[in-house]
Amino acid sequence: MWSELFLVEKKIPPLIADASTNTGLFINTAKMHLMYTLNAEGKRVYTLKKVVNGEVTKSAHPARFSPDDKYSRHRVTLKKRYNLLLTQQAKAPVKA
C-alpha cells in the first residue's frame, strides 16, 4: 500500500509560510519582473516577457547594491590598467 503511494507522481506547488497567520499556503511563486528591449529608434520598449520575437529581453531594474563590495578593488585595478577611470578621461568641452 505504501509503495503505491510513493509511485504516484504528483505536481505539488511549493509550500510558502504566511508570516501574518503563521500558516502554510499554496501560492504561485512566479514573479513578474519588468523587462525591456530596444526598438529600431533605440528607445526602450517595456514588457513582462523574457523573450520577445526571438530576442532575449534585459532587466529594467538596477543591480542590487551592497555596501560590502568584495570586488571593488579589482574593478578599480582593471579600470586603471585600461585607462577607464573618469580621472584618466579627456575632459569633454563644456556646452554653454
- Residue 56 domain-assigned? yes
Name the pTM for this structure.
Answer: 0.43
Q: What is the pLDDT of residue 95?
A: 79
Q: Which residue shows C-alpha cell 523587462?
A: 35
What Cα–Cα distance (Å) separates residue 29 from each residue in 14, 26, 53, 58, 60? 8, 9, 26, 21, 20
> Would you say residue 46 lies in a domain?
yes
Return the pLDDT at 7. 46
What is the domain range of residue 57? 32-61
Q: What is the pLDDT of residue 31?
A: 77
Count other C-beta atoms under 10 Å from residue 57's C-beta: 19
Q: How many domains does the chain contain in total?
A: 1
> pLDDT tens digits for the chain (96 residues)?
444 444 445 555 555 554 555 555 545 556 789 999 999 999 999 999 999 999 999 999 988 888 888 999 999 999 999 999 999 988 877 776
Residue at 39 is within a domain: yes
Distances in Å between the Cα of 52 and the Cα atoms of 12, 39, 42, 89 are 30, 11, 16, 37
Whether the Cβ atoms of residue 37 and residue 45 lie closer than 8 Å to each other: yes
